[in-house]
A and B are shown apart, each in its own frame.
Chain A
C-alpha cells in the first residue's frame, strides 16, 4: 500500500513537517514509493539529504530505521548477529541432562538473534522508512550485502531460513559521492541529485526553519550566500550554513546584513581560513 497518492500530496505532507520540497524531489519521492524502489539521494553536504528521509518518515507516520555507514561496517553490524555470549551461557546452563540436538536447536532460535538495522526494517509490519546514511563511506562489500536486501527485500539467515519482508520499507540511501557507487546498486535505485536550492526556495526554507528572522533579512542573507557560492571556495556554504547564519543573526539581535556584520559572522558560513580571506577580499570586507 503506497504511502502517498500524488507528487502534490508528497509536497503538501512534507511541507507540513517543515521540509520544503521542489518539483523534482516531490516527484521522485512519490515514484520511489509508487514503484517500490529504493531512492538514492546524492548531493553536497548540508543540502538536506538525511533530513528528507526523516521528513518522509514523519509525513507518512512511519517508523525510521537508520543504518549509519562507516569504513569497516560489516554484516554483523548491518544485518544480524548471533548473540555468542548468551549462547555460551545457555550451553553452560544446560548442564548434563539435556541432549546436544535440543541445545543446538535452541541456541539458533529467535531468542539469540540480534537484529541489526537492515533486518529490523524488513521485519517491521508497520510502515517503515529505512535510511542508509552515507552509503559511500561503507566498503564495496557492503553494497553487495545491500543488493539482496534492496532488490528482493529479503534476508537469508542460514540457521533460520529466508526472512521475507512483511511490508516493503521505503528505502532512502544517501551519498556524498566521495566514491562512485557500483552500477549494480545504482541500477536498482531511483536517483535524486539534491543541489543547492534556487533563491526563492532557500528563502522559504530559512524562514520556515528560523521563523524569528525578518523576511527582508532572509532575502538579503540568501542572496549573500549565493554570492559566496559563486566564488571559488574550497567548501561552498550549504543550506545548513544559511540556516545557522540566520540563527546567529537572530541571536545577536541584528536585522540587517552589511559589511561589518558579514565580516564578524563569516565564520558561521565559511569553515576554511583560506575561504575566509578570499571572501573578505572579493566582497570588499575588512
Chain B
C-alpha cells in the first residue's frame, strides 16, 4: 500500500500502527495475536477488503463486545476509498461520473438527485449501493470550508439535507403496495425501513470519519471515533437507546454471574463424605473406594431488600439494578424491592411473575405510591416512612441495598432513621451512580449517609457487575 494521503509507510508499519490504535481503544491485543494477524494477512487475498477485515477480526478480536470498536477503527485504518473516489477496481462506474456533471454551486440539484437515489436504495436494500451513496452524499453535501485551506466534514449537514426520515411515508406506500395500513404488514415494513435508514446514517458517519481522517491524520480521529463499551456507559448520561440495550443485557449478565457463582461454590470446600454413594461407586472397582464422593455444601441464601430512588435523574440506574436483582433472584431466598421519590412504597409485585420488564417498569412508575409532596427526591422522609411501615422487612438474614445519588434537595437527612434500618441488616450497601469526587457537594448528602452505610461508586454496568460478584453469597 503506497498512499501518501494516509501517511505512507509499508504494510508492516500500517499493521503495527493499527494494532497500537486497537490497544489504545482498550482491546487487549497480545504480541502473539498481532503475529497471528500478520500470518492471516499473508494467507488471504489482500485485494478483498472484507477478507482482510475477517482475517484481522479472527486474530485480534476475542470478545464480541469489542467488535463495534474494531469495525470503526478498521474502517479508518483500511479505508475503502481515497478522497471522492470510487474503489480502484470499480473505476468508471456511472454513479461516480454523474456527480461530477453537477455544478458544485447547485446544491439543491445535488440534494434532490441524492434524495431520489436514496429512496431507491432504501427500497432495494442494496448494501453496496447504500455505501456508495453515502460516499457521494458526504462529498456533495458534507463539506464546509470554514477556514481558507482547511475543510471540515459534518454528518448533520448531510443528514439534515437528505432527512431520510421524511422519506418514510412514501417508502411505506411503495413497500405495502396497496395493502391496508396499520396492521402487521406495516409494522414489519416500517421496521425494515428504519433499519436501512439507520444503516445509511451509520454509513454517512463512517464516511465523515474517513474524510476527517484524511485531513487530520488517522491517529487523531481514532481517539474520538470509539464509542465506549456498553458496560462502560455512564448510567447518568446514557441515551434512550443505550438504556434499552442495557436492559437487553440484563439476562445474559445475570446468567454469567450465576454461572460464575456456581463455579465458585464448587471450588469452595466440599461437604461431608457421602458414604452411600462412595460405597456404591467402589463396587465397580472390586470394593476398593478409589474415589470418595462428598455431599455438596448447602449454600447460604440471604434475603435481599432493595431500596431505590426512582426519581428522574437516577431512574435508569435504579431500573437496571432492580432488573438485575430480579434476574438473579434464584440466588436469594427472597427479593423485596421498595421504591421512593419523596415517600416510599413496595413494588415487588410488579416484577414478581417474570412479567415483561418494560411493562413492569411502566406500571411501577404509574401505580406505586412514591410521590408524597412535590416529586423531588427526599431521602429523609422516605427513610422515615420505610422505617415506620416496613421495619420488619429488614432482619438479620437480610442484605440491604440502597440505590440513589443521595441528592436530597437540601431537606432533612434523617440519618437516625437510616441508621435504625441498617442496624438490623446482615449487610448494608449504598450504590451511588455519581462519580466519587462529587459526593458531598451541593445538595448531596452522600457524606452523611456514607458514615452510616458503606457507599460504593457504581457508575456503569461494569462496576455494578464487579460489585454484585463480590457480595453474592457463596
A residues engaging B (CB < 8 A)? 6-7, 23-24, 26-28, 30-32, 34-35, 37, 40, 42-43, 71, 84-85, 88, 136, 139-140, 177-180, 183, 186-187, 189-193, 195, 198-200, 220, 223-224, 226-227, 230, 232, 234, 257-259, 262, 272-275, 277-278, 282-285
Contact = CB atoms under 8 A, between A and B. Distances in A.
Nearest to A272: B354
Contacts of A32: 58
Contact of A27 (B55, B189, B255): B55
B349 interface: no
Given A187-B33, A226-B191, 8 more contacts: A88-B286, A139-B266, A177-B256, A190-B40, A191-B62, A227-B191, A259-B183, A283-B184
Interface stretch (B43-51, B299-307, B330-338): B43-51
Contacts of A200: 125
Interface of B: 28, 30, 32-33, 36, 39-40, 43-45, 50-51, 53-55, 57-59, 61-64, 67, 125, 127, 182-185, 187-189, 191-192, 195, 244, 247-248, 251-252, 255-256, 259-260, 262-263, 266, 284-286, 290, 354-359
A31 B187 contact: no
A118 to B, nearest CB: 21
A27 B191 contact: no
A186 B251 CA distance: 24
Contacts of B33: 187
A192 B40 CA distance: 14
B184 A258 contact: yes
A71 B244 CA distance: 33
Contacts of B256: 177-180
A262 to B, nearest CB: 6
A85 B288 CA distance: 12
A171 to B, nearest CB: 14
B191 A285 contact: no
Interface class of chain B by DSSP: helix
Given A226-B195, A227-B191, A258-B184, A27 B58 contact: yes
12 contacts: A7-B51, A30-B44, A35-B43, A85-B284, A88-B285, A179-B259, A191-B57, A191-B62, A195-B64, A226-B191, A230-B195, A232-B244
A267 B327 CA distance: 23
Given A23-B50, A24-B57, A273-B354, A187 B259 contact: no
B64 A193 contact: yes
A179 B263 contact: yes
Given A23-B54, A179-B263, A284 B182 contact: yes
A177 B63 CA distance: 9
Nearest to A198: B127
Contacts of B62: 40, 186-187, 189, 191
Nearest to B126: A200
Given A31-B40, A179-B260, A199-B192, A277 B356 contact: yes
A43 B55 CA distance: 18
A85 B67 CA distance: 51
A31 B43 contact: yes
A277 B53 CA distance: 40
Given A31-B40, A88-B285, A227-B191, A6 B45 contact: yes
A103 to B, nearest CB: 16
